[in-house]
Amino acid sequence: MSRFLSERFRSARPYVPGEQPQGGQRYIKLNTNESPFPPSPRVTAAITAEEVEKLRLYSDPDARPLTAAIARRYGVDGRQVFVGNGSDEVLAFAFLAFGSGGKAFRFPALSYGFYPVFARLFGVEFEAVPLREDFTIDPADYIGCGKNVVIANPNAPTGLALGRRTIGEIARSNPDSVVLVDEAYVDFGGESAVPLLGEHDNLLIVQTFSKSRSLAGMRVGFALGSPGLIGDLQQMKFSFNPYNLDRLAILAGTAAMEDEAYFCACTEKVCATRRRVTGALRALGFTVLESKANFVFAKPAGISGEALFTALRARGVLTRRWDEPLIRDYLRISIGSDEEMDAFLQKTAEILREAG
């Protein structure tokens, strides 16, 4: 830290992303919930030499073909769509727009690690509310709470999901607050709140192309909401980074959003593999939460979470774990291809045998 860093940021606690190995050793990478499948072939087709030549020009600040494709897919007006450089940027703009110097945010204490990081960075007051003992979110903590709300649904890292009706109740009972639903993982069996948008002008839904559309490396995320909320995010973006999506991201995102058949095939495959892996882990004695996401959150028996994590890593399998008291023995395991999951299960069984 240099002596020039301003006081405000001296105590910042940055988010620590999952490991992204570069070159060298090849890992079975089950640590950051990426898709095991390549992007839609339409993405490759969209990035032509002609489009590469156009990279000398700035991108469209309104990312028009992309916002139009998203609006069509979700049956909303173009003025109800905001696109960002990954949903992380969309979330950052939302914390800044609706919380900075204003109303506090409330979110679950065990959820996406970026929420408290954004809140601290932007000086947003927040309350992190513990989950119930079974890791579920208690809707009563949010219904009529009078605070801005952020709920990842399905939640991360648990994979547990709330129903649409509950989200509707939270939005209805907090009419003067923003209710942000982070649906990064909703395409793997969750119940999206998109059909509720017409009823609640305070509902903001955030989704990403990083998981179900295989574009984590392109950094494309979006928000759907009332024209008022979306206008606020636009204002934030135009005060900050008008060209937040580059030309390639706009092209790739549009192509991916328009390939519905490919999207369905990939998400169905991940769900089928998740069911199989859940059963296999339970047969090995694991406690496995009922996931509606592209990962499972699971606790082994007969070995600590840390020992299993380390032994898997030594055998070339990356998973994710957190050194927090309630979940220290759990691993979050992304759902990879069938071959990757077979290798993971086989190595896990070996490690358990050696430990037992």
Q: Which residues of this protein are in contact with ligand PMP, per CB under 6 A?
A: 33, 86-88, 112, 152, 156, 182, 184, 208, 210, 216, 221
Q: Which of 189, 184, 270 is nearest to 220 (CA)?
A: 184
Residues in the chain: 356
Least Å from the CB of residue 322 to ligand PMP: 13
Tell me whether residue 211 or residue 347 sits nearer to ligand PMP (CB atom). 211
Tell me whether residue 39 or residue 221 sits nearer to ligand PMP (CB atom). 221
Tell me whether residue 88 or residue 187 sits nearer to ligand PMP (CB atom). 88
Least Å from the CB of residue 118 to ligand PMP: 11
Spatial distance between the Cα atoms of 154 and 184, rounded to a whole number of angstroms = 8
Least Å from the CB of residue 19 to ligand PMP: 13
Spatial distance between the Cα atoms of 163 and 189, rounded to a whole number of angstroms = 11
Residue in this structure with the two tokens 């703009």, named with its chain if needed:
93
Tell me whether residue 40 or residue 208 sits nearer to ligand PMP (CB atom). 208
If you write DSSP's letter for every residue of 11-53 in order, what string do you get?
A: T-----PPP---SSS--EE-SS---SSPPPHHHHHHS-HHHHH
Tell me whether residue 155 or residue 280 sits nearer to ligand PMP (CB atom). 155
CA distances (Å), origin 181, targets 18, 26, 161, 194: 23, 35, 11, 10
Tell me whether residue 182 or residue 259 sits nearer to ligand PMP (CB atom). 182
Least Å from the CB of residue 189 to ligand PMP: 15
Residue nearest to ligand PMP (CB): 86
Helices H / strands E in the chain, number of each: 12, 12
Tell me whether residue 219 or residue 347 sits nearer to ligand PMP (CB atom). 219
Least Å from the CB of residue 216 to ligand PMP: 6
Which string of b and e fits 219-240 if b means at least 16 CB within 10 Å?
bbbbbbbbeebbebbbebbeee
Tell me whether residue 248 or residue 345 sits nearer to ligand PMP (CB atom). 248
Least Å from the CB of residue 70 to ligand PMP: 14
Phi, psi of 315 (to 5 degrees): -95, 15
Contacts (Cβ under 8 Å, ≥6 apart) of 30: 295, 317, 318, 319, 333, 334, 335, 336, 340, 344
Spatial distance between the Cα atoms of 107 and 128, rounded to a whole number of angstroms = 5
Least Å from the CB of residue 254 to ligand PMP: 16
Least Å from the CB of residue 138 to ligand PMP: 19
Scanning the chain, the segments in alpha helix (DSSP H) are 7-10, 41-46, 49-53, 64-74, 86-99, 114-121, 164-173, 227-238, 247-258, 260-283, 305-314, 338-355
Least Å from the CB of residue 184 to ligand PMP: 4
Tell me whether residue 33 or residue 278 sits nearer to ligand PMP (CB atom). 33
How far does the chain reach from its first CA to its final CA, in angstroms?
Answer: 46
